[in-house]
C-alpha cells in the first residue's frame, strides 16, 4: 500500500494537513506588503514559542545553518569556548568552532550520558581572567535522546558573568520548556522540521541583548548567515535575502495550531509521550540508552536485547507497518533505534508505534515479554 | 477578489500546480532509501539543465547562500579577484568578497549597461604573474535586466589560463543557454525560485574540476556551505545536513516538466517573451533600461515616460489587475519597473501583462501611444 508512511523519527516530523496545504499555495512576492504581514505575525508567534521578547530571526537554512549563525555572529577567531560534547550534535558544535578557528575545549560525556554540570562549574570558576567567551551546549541530544541539564549549566555561566550561553534547542524548542528570557539564554538555535511541525528548510536563531553586544566586536567572516543584517530587515518585517516564502506561510499555520493547543499542553504532551515510550520499552524488556533523569522529552533511544539487531527491527517495522524509526548514528548504528515523539504526534501515534514494535519483536522471535505488556504500560502513562 | 494574484517578477516566479501539490505531500525521511532515489533523479535532471557532467550540488539556502558557497569554497583570504559590478547582484558579489577579506577589484559599468569585456581582457592580459585567482560575474543582472557577455568574458579568462570563472546564473539558468561544460565554467550559482519553477528555498552550485583543484588549497572558513561535504554525500545521493525534503520533491516534478518541454523550447520561449515585452514597451512609447544587444531574456526593465512614477504604475496594476511587477532597486526605485518573464510563464501571460500595462497607462492619463499598440507589437513577436 502506498502513501501510508508514518514518521516516528526526530525529524522530519509529521506535518499537519493544514500546514501542508499552506505549503501548496502559490508563492507571493517576498517584498510585498502581504508578505510583510505574514512575517510580522510569524515573528510574533515565534517569540511566543521561544518565550522571549527579544529577537527571533528566520534563516533559509537547516538547523546546522542556524547553529553556524549562532557561532559566527558572536565569536572571534581564537576565542576560548567550552563545548558540551555527548553526541553527534555536540560534536557538530565543536566541528563548527574548529572550522572558524575558535579554541573549543570539549567537555565530554559518553554518548547516552548527560553532560556533568559540575565540570562546567569548575572550569568557569577557575577562569578568573574571564577568558571563556561562551559555553555551547546541546539541550536535547538528538543522537542519543539525552537531555542535558541546561538550567544548571546556565546557572554556572551566569555566575561566571562574562561568557555567553549558546544552545542547540533543535529537538527541544516547541517540545520542552525552553524559557529563553527567564533563563537569559543568549543564543538559541532550532530548525523547522522538529517541534515546529513543518518540513525542513528553515532555521531559527533567538538572540538576546548580551549576544548583540558581543556581535559588535565579533570578527568572524559572515554574509549569508549575518544576523545583524537579518535583524535590521526583521525590523521591517522582511529578510535580507529571499526567504522560503511557502515555508513561512506553512509556519504561520503550524504556529497558529500550537497557540491553540497552548505551551503547557504541548510540553505536557511531549512529557507524557516520553514517559509512555520509556515505560513500554521497559515492559518489553528493552534497554534505554538514556537514564530516567536525563531522558529527552522528544526522542527515546531504545537498546534491543542481545542478539537482536536494531537495523533489523527498523527494517521489519517499516516493511510490515510503514512506520519509520530512526537508527543509531555513527558507532551506535545497529545498536539502538530511536523513537521520535516530537511535534505533531498524538497519544494515538504512541499506541500505534508501541503496538507495532511489539508485533515486530514477536515476529523476530523475541520472547522476553508478556504479549501486550508494552501497550499496557504505554496506556497507563497516557491516561 | 482573493487568490487571483499573478506574479510577473523575477522571483519568486509562478509555480505549476503539480509542483505545488508535490510540496504538499507529507515529508519522507531525508536519510531513507526512498529519498535517495529522489535525490539521484533530481541530481541527474539538474545536470541536464546545467548542461554539465560535473557536480551540481543542492543547498538549503537562497541564491545568496549559493553565491557565498561559490566564493568560500574556492578562494583564500587576500586573493585578488575581478568582480563585475553593474547592478545590485554584482555589488553583492563584491560584498561577499569583502566579508571574507578577498581583494576584490570591481570592474564597473553603469546600472543598465553591460560590463565591457575589453576591461577584463586588458586586466587579465596585464596579469603576467597570474595573480588573479578568479573572475566573478553576474550573467543576467536581475536589478537592471542586463545580460552580461559571459561567453566573451569567459574567453578572456580562458586565455589567462589560471583564473577561475565564477558565475551568478540565478536569473539565467533554466531560461537562457548557460552551456557549462561547453564553456568550461568553473562555478555557477543559482536559486530555486527562478527558472526552476518552484518557490524560494534551495540554492544550486555547479562545480567543475578546476574549481575542485582550487578547493584543495582554499582556506576560507566554511561549514554549512562546505561544498566538499556536499559532494561527498551527493555521491551517496544524500546531503550532509537535512535538506528541504518537500522542496526537493517539488523540484523533481518541475524539472520533469522542463525535460518534457526541452531545453531548446525553454530557451526559445524566454527569448520570445523578452522580444515581445521589449517590442510592446517601445510601441507604448516607454523607455528600456537595457539596450537591445544586452537585454536579459528573463527580465525587462522599463523606464516610464517623464512625469509617470514607476511605483504608481505598479500600485495601480496591482490594484486593478492583481498583477505584481517588480520595482527598481536602490537608486532606480521609482524610476523603473521590471517585468519578470522567467520560469513558468506562457505567451498568454505576456499578452495579459502587456494589455494590463496598457490599461494602467491609460488610466493614469498617459496618451503617448495608439491604444492597442502594445498588444499588437507583442502579438507580432509571439507569433
The pLDDT value recorded for residue B2 is 87
Give A31 to chain B, closest Cα distance, Å: 9
**Given this model, what pLDDT does residue A2 score?**
87
Asked if pLDDT for residue B1 goes beyond 90, the answer is no
A 313-352 → B contacts, CB under 8 A:
324, 326
Percent of chain A with pLDDT strictly greater than 90? 99
- pLDDT score recorded for residue A65: 98
Q: Which residues of B208-247 are buried (b: 16+ CB within 10 A; e: fewer)?
A: bebbbebbeebebbbbbbbbebbbeebeebbbbbbbbbbb
- Nearest-Cα distance to chain B for A12, in Å, is 6
Shortest CA gap B33–chain A (Å): 11
Q: Which of A138, A159, A132 is closest to A150 using CA atoms?
A: A138
Contacts of A72 (CB under 8 A, 6+ apart): A100, A218, A220, A221, A222, A225
Please indicate whether, in this complex, the C-beta atoms of A63 and B193 are within 8 angstroms of each other. no
* Residue A95 forms contact with B (CB below 8 Å): yes
B12: cis peptide before it, omega within 30°? yes
Interface membership of B364 toward A (CB under 8 Å): no
Max alpha carbon distance in chain B (Å)? 64
Q: How many helices (H) and strands (E) does chain B have?
A: 14, 14
The CA distances from residue A9 to A33, A67, A204, B213, B369, in Å, are 37, 21, 20, 38, 63
Q: Does B18 touch chain A (CB under 8 A)?
A: no
* Interface residue B28 vs chain A (CB under 8 A): yes
Position A19 confidence tier, pLDDT thresholds 50, 70, 90: very high
> Mean pLDDT across the stretch A89-118?
98
Domain residue spans of chain B: 18-260, 262-382
The top-level CATH class assigned to B18-260 is alpha beta
pLDDT over 70 percentage in chain B: 100
Least confident of A58-67, A129-138, B1-10: B1-10
CB contact under 8 A, A246 and B201: yes
Contact B245 A24 (CB under 8 A): no
Name the residue of chain A whose CA is nearest to B69's CA. Answer: A224
Span B82-106, mean pLDDT? 98
pLDDT of residue B25: 97
Mutation site, A200, A248, A253, interface B, largest B CB count within 10 A = A200
When pLDDT is averaged across residues A26-43 and rounded to a whole number, the result is 96
CA distance B210 to chain A (A): 23
Give CA–CA dist A265/A378, Å, rounded: 19
Which of B20, B30, B247 minimises the CB distance to A24? Answer: B20
Q: Give Cα separations from B248 to A58, B236, B252 (angstroms).
A: 20, 16, 6
Instruction: Tell whether B30 is within 8 A of chain A (Cβ).
Output: yes
Cβ-proximal residues to B282 (8 Å cutoff; 6+ apart), any chain: B288, B377
Cβ-Cβ contacts under 8 Å for B197 (sequence gap 6 or more)? B13, B14, B15, B16, B19, B174, B254, B257, B258, B343, B344
Q: What local confidence, expressed as pLDDT, does residue A1 receive? A: 83
Q: Which residues of A touch B220 (CB under 8 A)?
A: 221
The model's confidence at residue B246, banded by pLDDT at 50, 70 and 90, is very high
Q: What is the pLDDT of residue A36?
A: 98
Q: What is the mean pLDDT of chain B?
A: 97
Interface test with B, best of A22, A223, A315, A328 (most B CBs within 10 A): A223
What pLDDT is stored for residue A309 in this prediction?
95
Mutate to test the interface with B, among A21, A199, A314, A330 (most CBs of B within 10 A): A199
Complex ipTM, two decimals? Answer: 0.97
Q: What is the CATH number of domain A262-382?
A: 3.90.1150.10
Q: Residue B246 is nearest to which of A5, A23, A241, comparing CB atoms?
A: A23
Please indicate if the annotation marks A92 as binding a ligand.
no
And the C-alpha cell for B280? 510592446
Within 156-215 of B, beta carbons closer than 8 Å to A belong to: 191, 193, 199-201
* pLDDT score, position A184: 98
Helix pair B263-283, B347-363: axis angle to 10 deg: 20
Q: Given an 8 Å threshold on Cβ–Cβ distance, is B68 in contact with A223? A: yes
Contact B20 A25 (CB under 8 A): yes
B244 at A interface, C-beta within 8 A: yes
Whether A55 contacts A206, CB under 8 Å: yes
pLDDT (mean) for A294-304: 98
Does B4 contact A at CB distance below 8 Å? no
Handedness of CA B169, B173, B177, B181 (dihedral sign): positive
pLDDT at B290: 98
Residue B215 near residue B27 (C-beta atoms within 8 A): no
Cβ-contact A292, A146 below 8 angstroms? no
pLDDT > 90? residue B167: yes
Element (H, E) at A57: strand A55-59
For residues B3-26, average pLDDT: 97
Nearest residue, CB atoms, A12 vs list B14, B30, B62: B30
Looking at every residue in chain A, the average pLDDT score rounds to 97
Mean pLDDT, rounded, for B218-231? 98
DSSP A183-213: HT-SEEEEETTSTT-S-S--EEEEE-HHHHH
CATH of segment(s) A17-260: 3.40.640.10
Chain A contact present for B7, CB below 8 A: yes
Chain A residues close to B60, C-beta within 8 Å: 60-62, 65, 200-201
Whether the predicted pLDDT of B358 surpasses 90: yes
Condensed to tens digits (0 to 9), the pLDDT of residues B264-297 reads 999 999 999 999 999 999 999 999 999 999 999 9
Rounded to whole angstroms, the Cα distance separating A298 from A316 reads 23
Exposed (0-12), middle (13-18) or buried (19+): which is A343, by Cβ within 10 Å?
Answer: buried
pLDDT in tens, B229-242: 999 999 999 999 99
Amino acid at each position: 500500500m502506498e502513501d501510508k508512511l508514518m514518521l516516528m523519527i526526530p525529524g522530519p516530523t509529521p506535518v499537519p494537513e493544514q500546514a501542508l496545504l499552506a505549503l501548496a499555495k502559490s508563492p507571493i512576492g517576498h517584498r510585498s506588503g502581504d508578505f510583510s504581514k505574514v512575517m510580522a505575525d510569524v515573528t510574533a508567534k515565534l517569540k511566543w514559542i521561544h518565550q522571549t521578547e527579544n529577537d527571533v530571526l528566520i534563516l533559509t537554512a537547516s538547523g546546522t545553518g542556524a547553529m553556524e549563525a549562532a557561532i559566527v555572529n558572536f565569536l572571534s577567531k581564537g576565542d576560548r569556548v567550552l563545548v558540551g560534547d555527548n553526541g553527534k550534535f555536540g560534536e557538530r558544535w565543536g566541528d563548527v568552532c574548529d572550522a572558524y578557528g575558535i579554541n573549543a575545549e570539549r567537555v565530554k560525556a559518553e554518548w547516552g550520558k548527560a553532560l556533568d554540570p559540575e565540570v562546567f562549574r569548575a572550569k568557569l570558576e577557575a577562569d578568573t581572567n574571564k577568558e571563556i567567551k561562551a559555553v555551547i551546549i546541546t539541550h536535547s541530544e538528538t543522537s542519543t535522546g539525552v537531555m542535558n541539564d541546561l538550567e544548571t549549566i546556565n546557572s554556572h555561566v551566569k555566575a561566571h558573568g562574562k561568557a555567553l550561553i549558546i544552545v542547540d534547542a533543535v529537538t527541544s524548542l516547541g517540545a520542552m520548556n525552553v524559557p529563553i528570557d527567564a533563563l537569559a539564554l543568549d543564543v538559541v538555535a532550532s530548525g523547522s522540521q522538529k517541534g515546529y511541525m513543518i518540513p525542513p528548510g528553515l532555521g531559527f536563531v533567538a538572540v538576546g541583548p548580551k549576544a548583540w553586544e558581543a556581535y559588535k566586536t565579533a570578527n568572524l567572516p559572515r554574509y549569508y548567515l549575518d544576523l545583524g543584517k537579518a535583524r535590521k530587515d526583521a525590523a521591517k518585517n522582511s529578510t535580507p535575502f529571499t526567504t522560503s516564502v511557502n515555508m513561512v506561510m506553512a509556519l504561520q499555520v503550524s504556529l497558529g495550531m500550537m497557540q491553540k493547543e497552548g505551551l503547557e499542553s504541548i510540553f505536557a504532551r511531549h512529557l507524557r509521550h516520553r514517559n509512555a515510550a520509556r515505560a513500554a520499552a521497559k515492559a518489553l524488556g528493552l534497554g534505554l540508552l538514556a537514564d530516567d533523569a536525563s531522558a529527552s522529552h522528544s526522542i527515546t533511544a531504545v537498546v534491543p536485547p542481545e542478539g537482536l539487531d536494531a537495523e533489523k527491527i527498523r527494517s521489519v517495522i517499516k516493511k510490515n507497518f510503514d512506520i519509520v524509526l530512526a537508527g543509531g548514528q555513527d558507532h551506535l548504528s545497529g545498536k539502538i533505534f530511536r523513537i521520535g515523539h516530537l511535534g505533531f504526534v498524538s497519544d494515538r501515534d504512541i499506541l500505534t508505534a508501541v503496538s507495532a514494535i511489539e508485533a515486530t519483536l514477536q515476529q523476530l522471535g523475541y520472547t522476553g515479554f508478556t504479549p501486550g505488556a508494552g501497550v499496557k504500560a504505554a496506556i497507563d502513562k497516557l491516561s
